[in-house]
Structure 1
Amino acid sequence: MLRLPVLLLVTMAGIIGAMLIWGDGDLRADRRPAPAPTVAAAPEAEAVPEPQQDLTAAAAADEIAAVPEDAPPPETAEAPPAEQAGGIERFAGPTLQVSPEFADQTDAPAEAGEASLWVTATRLNMRAAPSSGASVVTGLDGGTGLVPLGPTDGDWVEVRAPSGQTGYVSSQFVTTAPPQ
């Protein structure tokens, strides 16, 4: 009964000992990003130490003269090219092209006051969230034009009413065809 725990303990000690002796340290060190360059602080004037009993005036003058006053300023780290170019980093490779299946489609978002959805119900509640249990923001009359603010292919559509209020309406009560 005692042999199994002892054998396990000796095996684990052997593995840990082998790792400590022959291990290469941190194997992921080459995958970590290089530390950000640090900007050297400007050298401040060193405080002159208080004269000690055994320090002569000549030795004190030598210590003060050891710090040159006309020392060149430290080098400052320059920003990487990506930061200098407004944060846009360019990568080598071909320019991206639109997929052929989407080449004939254009993105034409609705203008601020341009309605592209209309209410088909006699009265429609615009809600604060995409749920029939959400609070009602406002009521919309039939034929009211709405500006979609999100995708129109789901069960709920985020819209802006002519009054400027935004909310969600059920997609089954709106249409893209203007009223007659």
Structure 2
Amino acid sequence: MIRLTFYLMLTLFLTMLIAGRDGPDTVKTAATLTTEAALETAVPASIVTRTDSTPLALAIPVSASPPEAVTPTTASLRMPGPPLRPSPELVLASQTQPAPQVWRVNTNRLNVRAGPSTGHSVVDRLTRGDEALVISDPTAEWVQIRIEGDGVDGWVARRLLTPADN
């Protein structure tokens, strides 16, 4: 299977390398056509006349009048409809969320779980004296914690934690 994949990738690479290449004539022709079209529209043939066979540099006619001055304008954008306000759920969530507190483990071994019950899987373990940041309501039966060093979020029973003395 690996050999088949290798041969397929090699075939695709070689096909793109050989068939996808533009020759120098193609690029030169496209560049020549673009330059000739630009010269025809920018400079009339009556302005540029040469009698010898030396190459002609690009001739741009110079106008005597200065270009029009551009005056900056400030545009005030007004969106249609009433002004937007944050949703009530967002305002309530930001007002009721307590400040994170550091708590210490007061049991020999503490399972950090994926959800707030013993029915959820264990995502990490803490030992006595380890500290964690409580990021949910500390008065609830189960609290959500964040382990600072690991960055692991999980749930533990609050009765197995005590507030850390700062």
Q: TM-score range by the shorter chain?
A: 0.3 to 0.5
Flag the structure with higher strand content.
2
Flag the structure with higher helix content.
2
